[in-house]
């Protein structure tokens, strides 16, 4: 089935009617579908390799952390009561009974009127409940310490369970492991950890106009960009990707590629031409897959309206528009959320922060759809971060290269005004 | 040399004097040192592997992109002049002379009064300068097209050089390659690209109190967290890391580890105990390295004041505080910038965006230093994003696990007030 067949065979009148059936699915209903696809399997990997992976098991503190009271300062361990009333004019005099070796158990206990030298990080001796900093003391001889300030119990000490108490839930499954969570795993003695596997994303580009990037395209052809942008975005979102190459706009080859991809991937992304013909081809191929169901055909988003989401064999298939910018915007705003869900990420970690900026000029927008406008950011004359819309058609890669982010214009908004504060989503 | 030697041998009085020499380096002077360390070497890698790597060569468009005029819509290619004056009540009548096959050179040219069927993405025929959308037309018979609207020249057409003109500089060296830049490389026919190598960061943990994470620490000892947090942060910032393990607080072993690390790494990070003794040990080891120079010893930052930056053999060595939070804050706010510089990243790509939030309570701060406060973010009752300071000592990993970001309190600020808008740096 080729594009011109569509333009002639159903007839332009039929096409007009088909547009009527092209009903968009509200985005909240689209996002609600993510939970229907489950999550990938898990694997056990060294924690050093686990940064930004998604935790697949609860982590419970097996012991108190740090497990013993530690000094947080260089100074003298003592009983706080021995310092009460001490001042510059009326110093307390304590006996220095020794020093605590770093990493060792203190050799003796502290009694009232006694102090031991202690360094930052060393273990507190029994009987001591505070550390006084070197700065507030003076050794008048090797055995005698003058103290010029009183300290409260607990001063400059980390209690034995101050980081984590034994049996506390330290990390929940679904946590995205930042460097600090890797550190916590290390602190609790985990050399390896169960994480969700990286989802396998299969990427198919369709289009008789496409050629491999290593080729010099003849007139009428362009290189296949989407395989590269979508693979890069999927990898940046934590997936592993396999490219299934460029498939011509024909039923059988596309069906075969989809079947192979289904058997090998957790998610399939087909980026098609942006013509009605190629969209219909993608749809009829998806409908021919075993156990297939079209869930979404059309979203109220520009660019990106002709997006398709389907399920086949329990896996998700996306049909993204062929225009490079449209495909990237839909990936960023929608597919990424599904990928994170598939990755086992708890929704509380999927949050995304936007950057406030001041809009440099008016932007018009149609009601009834969400517009995503590419903007570049720069500091304005008064230092306020300014968002300047990047002009250009959605088939141009340079508009995405020039852009620092996207701004969203809501369904019920007819446009934004120059000087308005906008929230910029980094891309 | 062990910690208690320092506490006794130089004497407390000497220590007080040494504190006087512990002069902090203003941060602008610290950051200015980054350019003195040069950049790493380059390598040629497939573009599919190059996402978020740093470009090491200029990319110039070898040809116009897309190289031919293309339709951006399903419709009819024509000369715009043939539509002038057309309306619903007074349609223009054109002859349909054929259709353009996707990916092919059009078989004929368009003359005034003629139109050819064209799909989104197909090549424009000679003589055509616009595309009219299907919606504004009707085929009254297979050879005749009625047109209900006039279009301007250029409508629904991407010009042959609209994405990039031949010989234009498309990407500059130092660019961080996002998915869209990978797409641009694909569009321009680059299957591989020269990027800067990932800097090799050698990580050394020092401290007699540390044990390997696989061990169950005896009383007085804790597991080595910093190797893991700092490796994870360095990897997240684009480096490859090698751990040199836990080195005891002794001169010779630390010197040997530093020498080996210097010969194998582009940057060395030593995270030491936080006591004066271990800091002095790190300093004297660094000073003993061939061709060594201490550039910074102390920064006006809390946590993180005792940070050391040195150069030896042209390479940079960092001495970071041992407290896990202090080391992470200094890495995030300072070391990362040096790592990006070493990675060849143009400073315009090192920008970092912060998230505005409303402070949940007053925070006190001392003048004369920059305080970084850990905060967690949550939507307040009125939906406004709120930043809640995370209480806890800088030796506690849980404070970093609980935190979503840092807020900075400047040198000349004595504190921040509840309800103030603050800029949160994600961590």
Average pLDDT taken over every residue of chain B: 92
Predicted confidence at residue B351, as pLDDT, reads 66
* Contacts with A189 from chain B: Cβ below 8 Å: 213-216, 223
Which residue in the block uniquely carries the two structure tokens 């019920």?
A412
**Cβ separation B15–A134 shorter than 8 A:** yes
Q: Which among A186, A289, A423, A379 is positioned nearest to B213, based on CA atoms?
A: A186
* Contacts with A386 from chain B: Cβ below 8 Å: none
pLDDT at B113 over 90: yes
- Mean pLDDT calculated for residue range A67-94: 96
A249-284 confidence digits (pLDDT tens):
999 999 999 999 999 999 999 998 778 888 889 999
**Cβ separation B208–A103 shorter than 8 A:** yes
> Is A72 at the interface with chain B, CB within 8 A?
yes
- Mean pLDDT calculated for residue range B225-241: 97
How do strand B301-302 and strand B385-389 relate by DSSP bridges?
unpaired
Class of CATH domain A42-64+164-196? alpha beta
| Contact in structure between A52 and A170 (CB atoms under 8 Å) | no
Which residue in the block uniquely carries the two structure tokens 């006039």?
B150
| Contact in structure between A276 and B71 (CB atoms under 8 Å) | no
Q: Which two tokens stand for residue A331?
A: 């990936």
The CATH number given to A3-40+198-345 is 3.40.980.10
Residue B229 has its nearest CB partner, among A8, A180, A209, at A180
Predicted confidence at residue B15, as pLDDT, reads 35
| Contact in structure between B328 and B427 (CB atoms under 8 Å) | yes
Report the residue of A10, A123, A159, A179 to disrupt the B interface, i.e. the one with the largest count of B CBs within 10 Å. Answer: A179
* Contacts with A216 from chain B: Cβ below 8 Å: 189
* Contacts with B391 from chain A: Cβ below 8 Å: none
Dihedral (CA of A55, A58, A62, A65) sign: positive
- Mean pLDDT calculated for residue range A60-87: 96
Predicted confidence at residue A23, as pLDDT, reads 74
Q: Which two tokens stand for residue A52?
A: 């930004």
* Contacts with B137 from chain A: Cβ below 8 Å: 12
Q: What is the 3-state secondary structure (H, E, C) of chain B?
A: CCHHHHHHCCHHHHHHHHHHHCCCCCHHHHHHHHHHHCCCCEEEEEHHHCCCCEECCCEECCCCECCCCEECCCEEEECHHHHCCCCCCCCEEEEEEEECCCCCCCCCCCCCCEEEEECCCCECCCCCCEEEEHHHEEEEECCEEEECCCCCCCCCEECCCCCECCCCEEECCCCECCHHHHHHHHHCCCCEEEEECCCEEEEEEECCCEECCCCCCCCCCEECCHHHHHHHHHHHCCCEEEEEEEECCCHHHHHHHHHHHHHHCCEEEEECCCCHHHHHHHHHHHHHCCCEEEEEECCCEECCCCCEEEEECCEEEEEECCCHHHHHHHHHHHHHHHHHHHCCCCHHHCCCCCEEEEECCCEECCCCCEEEEEEEEEECCCCCEEEEECCCCCCCHHHHHHCCEEEEECCCCCEECCCCEEEEEEC
| Contact in structure between B185 and A219 (CB atoms under 8 Å) | no
Q: Which among A133, A118, A111, A109 is positioned nearest to A70, based on CA atoms?
A: A118
**Cβ separation A7–B395 shorter than 8 A:** no
pLDDT at A3 over 50: no
Could you tell me which chain A residue has the CA closest to the CA of B51? A232
- Mean pLDDT calculated for residue range B302-320: 95
Q: Which two tokens stand for residue A304?
A: 């990106």
Report the residue of A48, A120, A141, A333 to disrupt the B interface, i.e. the one with the largest count of B CBs within 10 Å. Answer: A120
B15-68 confidence digits (pLDDT tens):
333 344 457 899 999 999 999 999 999 999 999 999 999 999 999 999 999 999
* Contacts with B120 from chain A: Cβ below 8 Å: 273-275, 322
The A residues from 308 to 367 touching B (CB cutoff 8 Å) are 322-324, 328, 353-356
pLDDT at A354 over 90: no
Could you tell me which chain B residue has the CA closest to the CA of A223? B187
Helix B226-236 × helix A179-187 angle, to 10°:
160
Could you tell me which chain B residue has the CA closest to the CA of A181? B401
- Mean pLDDT calculated for residue range A57-70: 97
Angle value at C-alpha A415, between A410 and A417, nearest 5 degrees: 120
**Cβ separation A209–B102 shorter than 8 A:** yes
Residue A397 has its nearest CB partner, among B117, B184, B233, at B184
Would you call A187 helix, strand, or coil by DSSP?
A: helix
Q: Which of A2-16, A113-127, B295-309, B391-405 has the lowest mean pLDDT?
A: A2-16
Residue A396: how many CB atoms within 10 A of its CB?
A: 23
* Contacts with A230 from chain B: Cβ below 8 Å: 179
Would you call A425 helix, strand, or coil by DSSP?
A: strand
Report the residue of B96, B120, B156 to disrupt the A interface, i.e. the one with the largest count of A CBs within 10 Å. Answer: B120
The B residues from 138 to 197 touching A (CB cutoff 8 Å) are 138-139, 142, 158, 162-164, 170-171, 178-187, 189-191
Query: What are the C-alpha distances in Å from B409 to residues A382, A384, B333, B391, B424?
Result: 22, 19, 13, 16, 11
Predicted confidence at residue B381, as pLDDT, reads 85
The CATH number given to A70-158 is 2.170.190.11
pLDDT at B271 over 70: yes
Q: Which two tokens stand for residue A155?
A: 């001063």
Q: Which two tokens stand for residue B334?
A: 């300072």
B355-426 CATH fold: Beta-clip (2.40.340)
Question: pLDDT-derived band of residue A18, with 50, 70 and 90 as boundaries?
Answer: very low
The CATH number given to B45-65+165-195 is 3.90.105.10
Could you tell me which chain B residue has the CA closest to the CA of A69? B220
The B residues from 249 to 308 touching A (CB cutoff 8 Å) are 249, 273-278
**Cβ separation A74–B275 shorter than 8 A:** yes
Domain B3-40+198-349 has CATH 3.40.980.10: yes
**Cβ separation A138–B178 shorter than 8 A:** no
**Cβ separation A7–B74 shorter than 8 A:** yes
> Is B90 at the interface with chain A, CB within 8 A?
no
Question: pLDDT-derived band of residue B388, with 50, 70 and 90 as boundaries?
Answer: very high
* Contacts with A235 from chain B: Cβ below 8 Å: 51
> Is B222 at the interface with chain A, CB within 8 A?
yes
Quote the percentage of chain B above a pLDDT of 70: 95
Question: pLDDT-derived band of residue A351, with 50, 70 and 90 as boundaries?
Answer: low
Q: Which of A227-231, B4-8, B10-14, B129-133 has the lowest mean pLDDT?
A: B4-8
Please give the sequence-ordered ranges of beta strands (E in DSSP) within A220-277, or none if there are none: 222-223, 240-247, 267-271
Q: Where are the domains of chain A?
A: 3-40+198-345, 42-64+164-196, 70-158, 355-426
Q: What is the ipTM of this complex?
A: 0.92
Min CA distance, B136 vs chain A (Å)?
A: 10
A187-196 confidence digits (pLDDT tens):
999 999 999 9
Identify the DSSP state of A26.
P
Residue B220 has its nearest CB partner, among A123, A179, A398, at A123
Q: Which residue has the higher pLDDT, B39 or A24?
A: B39
Could you tell me which chain B residue has the CA closest to the CA of A184? B397
**Cβ separation A103–B353 shorter than 8 A:** no
Predicted confidence at residue B343, as pLDDT, reads 97
């Amino acid at each position: 089935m080729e594009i011109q067949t569509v333009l002639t065979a159903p007839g332009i009148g039929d096409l007009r009617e088909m547009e009527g059936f092209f009903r968009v699915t509200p985005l909240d209903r689209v996002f609600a579908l993510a939970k229907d696809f489950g999550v990938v399997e898990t694997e056990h990997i060294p924690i050093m390799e686990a940064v930004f992976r998604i935790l697949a098991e609860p982590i419970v503190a097996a012991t108190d952390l740090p497990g013993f009271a530690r000094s947080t300062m260089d100074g003298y361990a003592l009983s706080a009561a021995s310092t009460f009333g001490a001042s510059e004019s009326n110093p307390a005099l304590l006996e220095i009974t020794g020093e605590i070796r770093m990493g060792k158990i203190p050799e003796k206990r502290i009694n009232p009127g006694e102090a031991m030298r202690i360094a930052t990080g060393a273990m507190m001796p029994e009987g001591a409940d505070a550390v006084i900093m070197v700065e507030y003391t003076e050794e008048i001889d090797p055995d005698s310490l003058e103290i010029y300030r009183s300290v409260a119990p607990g001063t400059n000490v980390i209690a034995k369970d101050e980081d984590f108490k034994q049996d506390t839930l330290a990390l929940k499954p679904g946590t995205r492991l930042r460097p600090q969570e890797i550190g916590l795993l290390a602190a609790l003695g985990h050399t390896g950890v169960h994480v969700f596997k990286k989802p396998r994303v299969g990427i198919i580009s369709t289009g008789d106009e496409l050629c491999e990037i290593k080729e010099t395209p003849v007139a009428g052809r362009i290189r296949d960009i989407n395989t590269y942008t979508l693979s890069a975005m999927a990898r940046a979102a934590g997936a592993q990707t396999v490219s299934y190459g460029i498939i011509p706009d024909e039923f059988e080859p596309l069906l075969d590629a989809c079947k192979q991809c289904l058997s090998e991937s957790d998610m399939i992304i087909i980026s098609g031409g942006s013509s009605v013909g190629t969209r219909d081809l993608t749809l009829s191929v998806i409908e021919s897959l075993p156990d297939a169901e079209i869930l979404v055909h059309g979203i109220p988003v520009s660019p990106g309206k002709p997006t398709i989401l389907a399920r086949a064999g329990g896996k998700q298939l996306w049909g993204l528009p062929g225009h490079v910018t449209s495909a990237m915007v839909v990936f960023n705003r929608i597919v990424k959320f599904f990928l994170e869900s598939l990755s086992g990420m708890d929704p509380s970690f999927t949050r995304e922060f936007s950057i406030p900026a001041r809009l440099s000029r008016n932007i018009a927008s149609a009601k009834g759809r969400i517009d995503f406008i590419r903007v570049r950011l720069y500091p304005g004359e008064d230092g306020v971060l300014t968002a300047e819309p990047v002009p250009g058609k959605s088939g141009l890669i340079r508009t995405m290269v020039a852009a620092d982010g996207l701004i969203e214009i809501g369904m019920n908004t007819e446009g934004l005004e120059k000087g308005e504060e906008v929230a910029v989503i980094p891309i």
